[in-house]
Amino acid sequence: MEQSSNLRHRSANKAKNVDRTKILYNDDIKVPKTKLPKSLNNVHSKYPLINDETTQWWICYITITILAFITRLYKIEQPNHVCWDETHFGKMGSWYINHTFFFDVHPPLGKMLIGLSGYLTGYNGTFAFNKPGDSYEDYPILGMRLFCVLLGTLIVPFSYVIVWNLSKSLTSSVLASSLILLDVGMITLSQYILLDPILLFFIISSTLGMAMFRSQSHRPFQSMWWFWLTWTGFFLACAISVKFVGLFVILLVGLYTIYDLWEIFGNLDNSMMTIVKHFLARAMCMIALPIALYVTFFWIHLAVLYKSGNGDGFYSSAFQSTLEGNSLHNASMPRYVAYDAVITVKNHRTGGAYLHSHWHLYPEGVGARQQQVTSYSHKDENNAWKIKKFTDSSKTSSDDTIEFVRNGDLVRLEHVVTERNLHSHQEIAPITKKHFQVTCYGEKGVGDANDVFRIEFENAQIGDRLEAVKTRFKLIHYLMNCALYSHNKQLPKWGFEQLEVTCTPNVYETKNTLWNVEDNRFDRLPNVSIVLYAPSFLEKFIESHAVMFQGNAGLKPKDGEVTSRPWQWPINYRGQFFSGNDFKIYLLGNPIIWWLNLALLLLYILLCMTILIRQRRGCIELETIELENNRFISASIWLFLGWALHYFPFYGMGRILYFHHYFPAAIYSSMLSAVIIDYLLKVVPIMLIQIVPSFRLSNEQTDKQHQQMARFIFHLFYGLLMATLIYSFYLFSPLAYGIVRLPTSSSLDNTSTNQSSFSISNNHSTTQNQPDYDQQSSTSIGSSNEQSMQSLRWMESWEF
């Protein structure tokens, strides 16, 4: 009986401890009386919004949304000049309005939407977007900025809803959205004509769809269940249609879907037919629908851009024949190539360039000091060559007989502009040291035996004729038995950063040694229409992706361009200039938020290990703590995976990287930080009540006072954190809204040249920003001046 009495006493104390901790929950979520099941999938479904909680939820949501619009729309029209990559994506939007084809390393949806927003707001696509610093004057480009900032703004309320659906904690939701709201870097990245706010919106929209679909798991196959499933698939397609890094959110949603189906499969109440229905629904909405949308976006892209542009040269001759204004569109030329024809020769690899030469010589110390031969991706008069018989060293043939070039023939190629012959010899190539140098040599078409090449078709019989556009061939040097080879390696500035051409001893190489004739001019032969070579949509779709993948992999930094590595991003090591000189905009994360996120990422791993070890060891937890542990793991694991999937893959990328690539991961990190902080603020006071001896009081009046004190401490720490975040936003907001260089401070400290320049991402060169004070003063702009920001340069690597 004594043992039974002790058990009852411990049970009563346990119930009292639960009551003592209830008041710590400032979001008033009810703790269930029954023990929480181990399954993590349905934790969220036990806490619906009701009554006063609904009012509180909507008040917080509306307040956060209004503040997001205020902070993002503030000074959206300033500066009134081209900032950072607006020079590229604004220009691409103009090309969509003008239907002009171009090459870019990213899928088309983001640029199409930028062009559409400009068209709908009265922009006619005539602004040049030549370089950062160019004034917009009276051009109506504000509509494109407003479109981008609208999508960037919606990230804030969407994050609120995501965290609510994952954690069912109002304090977590408010804190998560506040961390994103008060991050000045997020504001900077949202306010300009860029792909980043569009991409971030689609990534977060996909995550929102996943979270909302998760909340509907108890109502399968109902209308809202289908709506959020379709929503998720739609925005997954949109994310990867803006940039290929959208693949990372597809992986996140895919992992959740596998986990969800595994839970459904493990529920023995579900029949096999029900499981099959769940699988087919997800396959239809999150596989078939995104693929169909992705292909549709490309069809629209290719249908809209039907006019020839400066990106044609990256694509095959057959592809170019479909573009209006291209020399191959509706063109006619001789079907077969004859001797003395003027031709252009294009490398047949994906994104292959034209065989090219110019008057400039190789510099001293780089092989023989003869005329440079390169490959060049754009159409140019220096791409023209005259094909001659190897015995014909004169400029013109005196014989009027037409002879066709055939497989196995020995030929010379004379550069039309400089009248020198394509040539190779046993000098080492400038970059690829295992290959031989290729030059142009001779005068007026007269050279030597090293000008002779044997033409070998890829799949043909000896004696077959060379067909323009269609036939792929190699040019084998007759004396050295090496094959003409086109690289994707860029020459230094002395070669105008064009692509290297060499002669490779490996004549069996086929990727870079195959060429085709694109233009074929010969007046004495009848012409045929080039339309017979036009590719189908599927062929153009496949080629577009091959060119994009190759272009993406080949992105390299230009001289003086400020790049970064992934390890630098979470520590906020260095930002990026959006605007320089007299009106500075500098992309940098809010240091307080970013360093807090980094510290909590490290703490998260320790927390998870502690929880899992205690569960494995069978440690008995208070019901309230067990509830919080399960809710914490259930909510945080997907946010942590979202951060990891959007961060760690960059370590394996060989392409050039920039600071702004981290921002998708930063959003997940901020949402995860909110969940961690909320968990700590709720669990630590409970543990103190149970562990610290002085807190173990039996007097009920003292208990009530203790509960009030615990709740006061909870709100105190939460309020101090929010106040710190708001103050840090106030301090660093000039980075987003403008740092004005006053005339008296123009010579201040003579800091690094990076203060007057900023890097251009992707495969574009660094551009010096032109002074554009726009006759504004610090008073009229209301921005901080340069001197007042010097004290905030907490790291030497920050360049503002």
| pLDDT tens digits along 413-459 | 999 999 999 999 999 999 998 999 999 998 888 888 999 999 999 88
Q: Which residue has the higher pLDDT, 553 or 526?
A: 526
Contact 194, 106 (CB under 8 A): no
Residue with tokens 């930028």: 114
pLDDT above 70: residue 2: no
Cβ-in-10-Å burial (0-12, 13-18, 19+) of 746 comes to exposed
Using CA atoms of 727, 733, 734, 736 in order, give the dihedral in degrees to the nearest 10: 170
Locate 332 and state its tokens: 């006619």
More confident residue, 690 or 778: 690
Q: Residue 513: how many CB atoms within 10 A of its CB?
A: 26
Distances (CA, A) of 118 to 78, 299, 308: 17, 21, 21
User: Are 323 and 101 spatial neighbours (Cβ–Cβ below 8 Å)?
Assistant: yes
Q: 336 burial class (0-12, 13-18, 19+ CB within 10 angstroms)?
A: buried
Q: How far is CA 567 from CA 280, 559, 650, in A?
A: 41, 22, 10
Taking every pair of C-alpha atoms in the chain, what is the biggest distance, in angstroms?
125
For residue 624, what pLDDT is reported?
79
Could you give the percent of the chain with pLDDT greater than 90? 53
Confidence of residue 27 (pLDDT cuts 50, 70, 90): very low
Residue 158 pLDDT class (50, 70, 90 cuts)? very high
Local confidence band at 756 (pLDDT 50, 70, 90 cut-offs): very low
pLDDT of residue 744: 46
Centre a 10 Å sphere on the Cβ of residue 128 and count the other Cβ atoms it contains. Answer: 12
Q: How far is CA 767 from CA 85, 156, 499, 776, in A?
A: 10, 32, 22, 23
Residue 558 neighbours by CB under 8 Å, 6+ apart? 764, 765, 766
* Whether the predicted pLDDT of 15 surpasses 50: no
pLDDT at 775 over 80: no
pLDDT category of residue 779 using cuts at 50, 70 and 90: very low
639/627 Cα distance (integer angstroms) = 19
Number of helical H runs and strand E runs in the chain: 21, 20
**Average pLDDT across the chain, whole number:** 83
| Single-letter amino acid code for the residue at 135 | S
Q: How confident is the model at residue 511 (pLDDT cuts 50, 70, 90)?
A: confident
* Cβ–Cβ < 8 Å for 383, 520: no
Residue with more model confidence, 240 or 44: 240
- Whether 32 shows a pLDDT value over 60: the answer reads no
Side-chain-facing half-sphere of 436: CA atoms under 13 Å: 21
Cβ proximity of 171 and 718 under 8 Å: yes
pLDDT above 90 for 732:
yes
Between the CA of residue 600 and those of 627, 670, 674, 680, what are the distances in Å? 21, 10, 9, 11
Q: What pLDDT shows up at residue 715?
A: 82
Cα atoms found within 13 Å of the Cα of residue 490, Cβ hemisphere only: 15
Output the pLDDT for position 682: 84
Which range, of 129-133, 253-257, 475-479, averages the lowest pLDDT? 129-133
Residue 13 has pLDDT above 60, yes or no: no
Is residue 42 predicted with pLDDT exceeding 50?
no
N-term to C-term CA, the chain? 76
Q: Please count the residues of the chain.
A: 800
- Does residue 374 or residue 559 have the better pLDDT? 374
- pLDDT tens for 285-335 read 999 999 999 999 999 999 999 998 888 878 887 888 888 888 777 778 888
Lowest mean pLDDT among 183-187, 260-264, 341-345, 765-769: 765-769
State the pLDDT at residue 788.
Answer: 76
Residues in Cβ contact with 284 at an 8 Å cutoff, skipping those fewer than 6 apart: none
> Is the distance from CB of 90 to CB of 193 less than 8 angstroms?
yes
Residue 669 has pLDDT above 90, yes or no: yes
Residues in contact with 136: Cβ distance below 8 Å, sequence separation at least 6, in sequence order: 80, 81, 82, 127
- pLDDT in the model for residue 643: 97
- What residues are paired with 371 via a beta bridge? 361, 440
pLDDT of 249 over the 90 cut: yes
> Residue 606's pLDDT band (boundaries 50, 70, 90)?
very high
- Evaluate if residue 248 carries a pLDDT over 90: yes
Output phi, psi for 426, to 5 deg: -85, 45
Exposure string of 62-89, with b = 16+ CB inside 10 Å and e = fewer, is eebbebbeebbbebeebbbbbbbbbbbb
pLDDT in tens, 516-531: 998 889 988 888 877 7
